[in-house]
Every structure is written in C-alpha cells, then in structure tokens.
Structure 1
Amino acid sequence: MADGPSEERVNMELTVEAGDAGERLDAWLAKSAGTFSRNRYKDLIKQGQVTVGGRTIVEPKYRVNEGETVRLSEPEPEDATPQPEDIPLSVVYEDDDLIVIDKPAGLVVHPGAGNWTGTLVNALLFHCGDSLSGIGGVRRPGIVHRIDKDTSGLLVVAKSDVAHQGLSAQFADHGRTSALERAYSALVWGAPPGLKGTVDAPLARSTNNRLKIAVVRPESHGARHAVTHWQLKKRYGSRDGDSLASLIECRLETGRTHQIRVHMAHIGHPLVGDADYGAHFRTKVNRLPEGLREQVAGFGRQALHAGLLAFEHPVTGEVMRFESPLPPDLAELVESYETLS
C-alpha cells in the first residue's frame, strides 16, 4: 500500500532572529517555515518532533529566544489508504444513494498531510462499509463537497456512483439551475454596513503562505470567481454603543476554499475565533466584559456553522432540505453576546 506523499515531509533547522524573540513556538514556526499551518506545527510540537537548543519542547506556547536553533523532524508518513474507524457520526438522513452528516467542529473531512486517520472518511468507511461511491478516489470516496475542519454543520456524501455524479453536477452549478442551497451562520467582529450585501472578490492561494487563501485581482494567476451573499441577523453592542460583533447568515454562490472566512475578513469583519484570517482583531477581545472576554479567547475555532443544506436527490428528483441548529459551543457563545445587546 502507498505511503503518504513524501513531498509533505519536512526536516529543517532555523535560527530565531532578534525581532522574533518572545513569540510562541507554534506561531513562529508557521511564520518562519511556512510549510504547514499553525495547528499542524502545534501537533508536531506536542508529538515531540521539535527541539530548541537541543531540548525537545512539547509546549506550543513556549516563547522563543534570539539565537536559539530550532529543529523540526516530521515523523515517517503513514499509510495513505484510509481504514474504517469506529468514530461516532451524527447521521441526519441516509438511504441507498447518499448520507447527510452533521459534522462536528474538529473533524477533518478526508485524509491528507497530517491527518491520515480520524477523519470523516474513516468514519464513513466504518459506517457504510463498501457502499460509498468510489468516484472520489481512494482517499475521498463519496466526497462531493467539504467544510473546514473547525467549521461545524451539514455535509452530504454519495454512496452510489450515480448519486456522486448527480450531486457533483449540482455543486459545480452552484445552484444556478438546481435546488442546491447552502447557508452558514457566522459570528463576526463589528457590524457590516446595512442589512445585507454581497462580496464579489476572486480568490487564490496566498503568495505569502500557501496554506492560506487571499483576495486577488481577477487577472492574477490561479484566481477563481467567488461570491458570498450575507444578511445581518443581530448586532451585539457595547456600553459605548459600538457594535462589537454581529451574527450574520452567509449564502454561497460559489464554493471556494475558506471563502466565507476570507470574504468577511476582506470587508473588515473577520469571524470571531478565526486565527488565520482574524488575528489582527485579537485586541478587540479586550473591549469585551471579563467573562465574555475569557470565553472568546478560549473558543478555539472560527465561529462558523453550516446550518442549511438543500439539494435535489440525484436519483428520485425529490428536493431534500436539512437544517441544523447551532452546536452547543457556538450557541453558548452567541447567547453570551446577547448580554451586550
């Protein structure tokens, strides 16, 4: 059986420069090495794969010092052929052709670099056996669309090849000529102007960090058309009357990687808890009341939930519509913001 892609393995040695002294080890590696995400470096540190000055450091929050030599050794790649794993699933609907899952935050959709096990695909292989569509390949059986690891919500997976083809066509068409609908609840910093709006801004891989997405010019290399429609649901103010945060609904006209997260950051209202695209808004946490401040600081993921999914059943033609309430962690956070209103 094949190993994971060898080009993802990294063995490196870096030296901390004066201007970087005092930074967290995981954040410094993400910035200085740039090969993986901060979360991946955090995992590698906890696995004992990072040494500083010859000492193994297992705390991602370790503060680096000027002149320290940091060495990173990636472990040997694991088998890339996913195996069935008994991981609990929240099944919303299932028949012979498809299955709808309410994915929890923290669950990766399919195996890849740094996540060869413990994914939704591993769980589906256990739950569905050999009935998943094989069109997506060995590592992505039945997968027709994805949501980020730290985004919760609804996802449909094909169990038959005919369902895979039909669902893929609907997602490729983005609902222009079909019943496909996708809506997300997002808690963002500040308040967008007006009650609703549209972000029409092409996206591509960031030239500064290939793990991130950026808004680019239409003529830029790799630029892909991306449109997000948003509608204000609730503003949350502070004692001085400013809107510190808002609950909005986002509907996708296209489905690009990190689309909502990047588009909302682009208009100046990044998602609460988004360490990748909202890091520059961390100081706003200090304006929150003490209890809420601690809750936001410890939230640990972007405040985004895929709460609505509708599509035409690719075999029966029936319009299927599913809704998922906010998961407990996000519902509790939103409830806390209600105290500001």
Structure 2
Amino acid sequence: MPIFKFLADKDQKPIRIDKFLIQAIPNISRNQIQKSTRLGKISVNERIIKKNNYKIKPLDSIIIETIPTSIFFLDEEYKNIIEEKIPLDILHEDKDVLVVNKPAGMVVHPGFGHEKGTLIHGIKYHLKKNSNQNRFPPRLGLIHRIDKDTSGLLLLAKNEHSQKWLLQQFFHKTIKRKYIALVWGDLQKKEGSITGFIGRDPKNRKRMILFQNPFPYKGKYSITHYKILERYPNITYISCNIETGKTHQIRAHFKYLGHPLFNDSTYGGDQILMKKKLSKKNIEFFNMCLKILKRQALHAISLSFIHPRNKRKYNFTCPIPEDFKNVLLKCRDKF
C-alpha cells in the first residue's frame, strides 16, 4: 500500500486535515480518509491523529498510509477504454515518463460526449503497441490536464511508481509549468500575481469564478503569476506561471481582472473588448484575428520536473501553434 508524506508550507492557513488531504491526493474520498483515521494510519508530527477535525498548521509533517491505489483514478471508464491509433506529438519518452505536445481541439480524457478520440485513447494504443506495455498505471498515467482548446505540454507516467512520484511533485510545487496567452485590453502592471478561490459559477456550471473568500462556494485557493511580453492596442501578450492547477485557472483569473483571454467564448473573450473606442480599421483587424485563432489564446509552452528514476531535472518547451503565431505576427506587423 502506498504511503504519502506531506510537509505543510510555512504560510499554511489552518485547515482541517481531511480537507487538506482531499486537496493533496487526487480522487481520494472523505470516507477513505475517515477509514484511515479509524485505523490509526494518519499521523502528524509522528503522532497518530484520531479525529478528522485536527487542523493543519504551518510546517506540520503529515503521513497517510494504506490508502488503496484505486484513488488514482481507477474508474471503469479508464479500464474499459479501447485503444485508438491517434497521431501523438511525443517530445520525450523513456521507461517512466511521456511528454506530449497536445494540439488544440483534442480532449485529454474520456467523459460525457467524448467517449472516443481522446488523448488517453491514443496513449493506450501507443503504450500497448509501441512500448509493448500490457500493465498500465491508473488513469493511464495522466498526471494533469489542459482544456480541450488549450494547446501544449502534458506529462504522463508509464508506471505507478512514476505516477505517485510526479503527483507528489505537483503537491510540493516542484513541477513548473509556463503558459503564454493573449488577453484583451492593456494590463496596468508589467508583472503581477492573481490569487483567490476558484469555484463553479452558480449561474453557469461550465464556467469557474474567482472570489476572495472560500465561502459560500467552497472554492480552492489558486495562484497565477504573470508577466507582460508585448503590448498592442487593446491586446496584450503575456506569460503565466501557475503555482496551482485548478480548472480553468488562467482563464478565470484574467476574466476576474477584466481582461478575458482572446477568443475565449466561455469567458466573454470572443467579443472585441472596448469596441467603441476602436477605429473601424482596428475592429476589422481584430475580427480577422478572431477568425484565424478560433479558440482561446492559451498555450502550455514549457514544463520542468524532477525525473522519478534518476532524480535529474528535465526541461521541455514546444513551438507556438500556427494559429496563435499568425495572430502574434499580424499584431507585430500592424502595430
């Protein structure tokens, strides 16, 4: 049975241990945590915790053991996946990990309305045919996700040891991911950080919203650091480093600032911002750009992690997709 060890940050805010573990370990249930507590399998600072209302404090050392490996996404939908021969842009592969450059428009994992043709279907085919792999890690090694219409780098594990190692790195923030994006408007600061709690928008379940208090929506804390790369009239080219990886994090964060991502229809970025202040020629120009880049302008451009076997740091980058690059080039030429 796996053993998970965590060290709370020095600025950790008080939080119940069951809530802390739910955030730290993917797909673990509160019932599983309660069972481990009853069995005396959770300790903090080498003392067994007997109640789930214990509150984690800064620099607490937490150990939880004998949690079934089924928490790592051993769902029927993954066990029953039929492999498909789907072209994959694999940037790196060894015995333990895969790094894939996902194109915009490809769904990462199966779900309602996406029972076939996902990245995971292609990964299963690749592992079975190209790596001669018959035993697959839970969830076919998926470590993190990016949205369907976001392009860029994804990290996958090829065995359970690597998967657990990499998931621990995500928790301890030693995996670094950098994104590039185009946002509407002119950001005031050259660089900055966006923080707050992300939760489902009660008015639109397809969207996330950012708020500064975890209640009433029980959101999860999120941090995005951004830096301006280039400025153009009514549009800004930025890079983002994320400390947390919440659903729609970058998209929701910049919507909160009033600068939605270019052509992000879910968050209002498919409409030209500040249209009344633009000349007719500039309106025509941005309408042309919206037709070139027909999805949110977000690309996961770089990724770094500590390798689970040799413990060396690996760094990867991938090219900017043509649709994104074409809009950038047109902005540079015009402005």
What SS does structure 1 have at the residue aligned with 2:239?
strand
Structure 1 match to 2:133: 131
Deviation by residue 1:85-132 (Cα, 9 ceiling, x = unmatched): 111010100001111000000011100010010000011111111638
CA contact (8 A) 2:192 2:225 kept: yes
Structure 1 match to 2:231: 235
Could you tell me which runs of 5 or more consecutive residues in structure 2 were left unpaired when the two chains were aligned: 1-76
Q: Does 1:255 align with 2:245?
A: yes
What SS does structure 2 have at the residue aligned with 1:210?
strand
The runs of 4+ residues in structure 1 deviating greater than 4 Å are: 132-135, 283-286
Structure 2 match to 1:331: 325
Question: Match of 1:274, as an amino acid?
Answer: D
Query: For 1:157 and 1:132, how far apart are their aligned partners in 2?
Result: 16
Deviation by residue 1:187-237 (Cα, 9 ceiling, x = unmatched): 000121121000011101111122211113223332100010000000012
Deviation by residue 1:32-67 (Cα, 9 ceiling, x = unmatched): xxxxxxxxxxxxxxxxxxxxxxxxxxxxxxxxxxxx
Deviation by residue 1:165-184 (Cα, 9 ceiling, x = unmatched): 011111122x2xx3x21110
Structure 2 match to 1:199: 194
Work out the number of aligned pairs and report it: 250
Query: For 1:271 and 1:221, how far apart are their aligned partners in 2?
Result: 24
Question: Match of 1:265, as an amino acid?
Answer: K
Structure 2 match to 1:165: 164
Structure with the higher fraction of residues in strand conformation:
2
Q: 2:221 aligns with which of 210, 220, 225?
A: 225
Shift of 1:281: 3.9
Q: Does 1:184 align with 2:183?
A: no
Question: Match of 1:317, as an amino acid?
Answer: K
Query: For 2:329 and 2:135, how far apart are their aligned partners in 1?
Result: 40
* Structure-2 change in CA distance of 1:280 and 1:149 (3 Å): closer
What SS does structure 2 have at the residue aligned with 1:204?
strand
Structure 1 match to 2:206: 211
Once the two structures are superposed, the pairs formed by residues 38-53 of structure 1 within 5 Å of their partners are: none
CA contact (8 A) 1:133 1:161 kept: no
Shift of 1:292: 4.2
CA contact (8 A) 1:190 1:245 kept: yes
Deviation by residue 1:259-316 (Cα, 9 ceiling, x = unmatched): 0000011011110010001248435568425344223145221000000100000111
Question: What is the aligned-residue identity percentage?
Answer: 36
CA contact (8 A) 1:132 1:159 kept: no
Query: For 2:292 and 2:323, how far apart are their aligned partners in 1?
Result: 11
Question: Match of 1:223, as an amino acid?
Answer: G
Once the two structures are superposed, the pairs formed by residues 1-341 of structure 1 within 5 Å of their partners are: 81-129=80-128, 131=133, 134-136=136-138, 140-173=139-172, 175=173, 178=174, 180-216=175-211, 217-237=213-233, 244-279=234-269, 281-282=271-272, 284=274, 287=278, 288=282, 290-297=284-291, 299-341=293-335
Could you tell me which runs of 5 or more consecutive residues in structure 1 were left unpaired when the two chains were aligned: 1-78, 238-243
User: In angstroms, what is the RMSD of aligned CA positions?
Assistant: 2.0
Question: Match of 2:238, as an amino acid?
Answer: I
CA contact (8 A) 1:142 1:157 kept: yes
Question: Match of 1:293, as an amino acid?
Answer: N
CA contact (8 A) 2:263 2:270 kept: no
Query: For 1:264 and 1:155, how far apart are their aligned partners in 2?
Result: 22
Query: For 2:216 and 2:242, how far apart are their aligned partners in 1?
Result: 22
* Structure-2 change in CA distance of 1:233 and 1:133 (3 Å): farther
Query: For 1:199 and 1:315, how far apart are their aligned partners in 2?
Result: 34
Query: For 1:304 and 1:133, how far apart are their aligned partners in 2?
Result: 34
* Structure-2 change in CA distance of 1:279 and 1:246 (3 Å): closer
- Of stretches 155-164 and 284-293 in structure 1, the one that deviates more from structure 2 is 284-293
